[in-house]
Amino acid sequence: MTRIAYVNGDFVPLEGAKISVLDRGFLFADGVYEVTAVIDGKLVDNEAHLARLERSLGEIEMDHPVSMEDLTALQLELARRNNLTEGGIYLQITRGAAERDFAYPKDVKPSLVMFTQERNLVHDPRAETGVDVITTPDLRWKRRDIKSVAMLAQAMAKQEAAKVGAAEAIMVEDGLVTEGSSSTAWIVKNGKLITRNLSNSVLPGVTRLSVLALCREQNLEVEERTYTVEEMYEADEAFITAATTLVMPVVKVDERILSNGAPGPIGSRLRSLYINMARATATG
């Protein structure tokens, strides 16, 4: 089946989806994006994704090409046209095509592009075994709270992980864990969960937000604070969260085996609670 993409008002076959070479997303990475998980053909945590999108757009003084309500309808229509029951919707807004110049152009309409990706989320076999991660220096810019399409540092980090067969690269700055290249990083020590506090140094993860709410419901103690790589090595368990992995247990960090090499109880419990919550609250 041909995949259908959405480009500036039109649903088109993915091979025919086109954007100008002068688009500032292409020339300057002048754009922001979101990935929303789809389960049972419905959008998971999408209100929070669109709220973060709105914030990212505001931080770079970019207009919305369509209202947030219309955007939800377009996402659902794209999922429907692609018969997508499980996976993700990638959505990107760039400042649009203009003569190449650094400062923002005036009166240019932003570009909106979306496509779908099928992915096993609920029955991801990696959740049964847990995943290995490596640590790597965080090479990114200083506004990581903006979900920018400038992702070369994350691609380099993920490539380091891929070279040694690890699923994720945990980025480290000044001895402190920032986050995964495409995920939020969590550790558990003595029954307490620890994840980095929000600031310009990390992306405010949407899955992180929902997992924090689940922790409150379950009376699990959480500390939102910086933590060191050594704390991660010494953790009882660890996991990562993202729209593309949900809650994914980590069983090895560099050469250190965690929780005897099997998914830890807290991460596994939060994964199943998150999936139940996602199914119960998804939009569509």
Give the separation between CA 247 and CA 188, rounded to whole angstroms. Answer: 13
Pick the binder of ligand PLP from 95, 208, 252, 271 (CB under 6 A): 208
Site for ligand PLP in 4-63 (CB under 6 A): 35
| CB burial of residue 273 (10 Å; 0-12, 13-18, 19+) | middle
Closest distance of CB 95 from ligand PLP, Å = 20
Is 182 a binding residue for ligand PLP by CB under 6 A? The answer is yes
Is 205 a binding residue for ligand PLP by CB under 6 A? The answer is yes
Is 271 a binding residue for ligand PLP by CB under 6 A? The answer is no
Question: By CB under 6 A, which span of 12-20, 60-68, 205-213, 224-232 interacts with ligand PLP?
Answer: 205-213
Is 183 a binding residue for ligand PLP by CB under 6 A? The answer is yes
Q: Which of residues 74 and 169 has its CB atom nearest to ligand PLP in the complex?
A: 169
Dihedral sign of CA atoms 122, 123, 127, 131 in order: negative
Closest distance of CB 240 from ligand PLP, Å = 8
Closest distance of CB 49 from ligand PLP, Å = 7
Q: Which of residues 17 and 177 has its CB atom nearest to ligand PLP in the complex?
A: 177
Give the separation between CA 192 and CA 245, rounded to whole angstroms. Answer: 22
Is 203 a binding residue for ligand PLP by CB under 6 A? The answer is yes
Is 138 a binding residue for ligand PLP by CB under 6 A? The answer is no
Pick the binder of ligand PLP from 161, 166, 232, 243 (CB under 6 A): 243
Does the annotation mark 147 as catalytic?
yes
Closest distance of CB 255 from ligand PLP, Å = 24
Q: From the candidates 147, 158, 189, 192, give the one annotated as an active-site residue.
A: 147
Q: How many residues bind ligand PLP (CB under 6 A)?
A: 13
Is 195 a binding residue for ligand PLP by CB under 6 A? The answer is no
Q: Which of residues 112 and 121 has its CB atom nearest to ligand PLP in the complex?
A: 121
Closest distance of CB 211 from ligand PLP, Å = 9
- Catalytically active residues are 147
Which stretches of the chain bind ligand PLP, using CB under 6 A? 35, 179, 182-184, 203, 205-208, 241-243
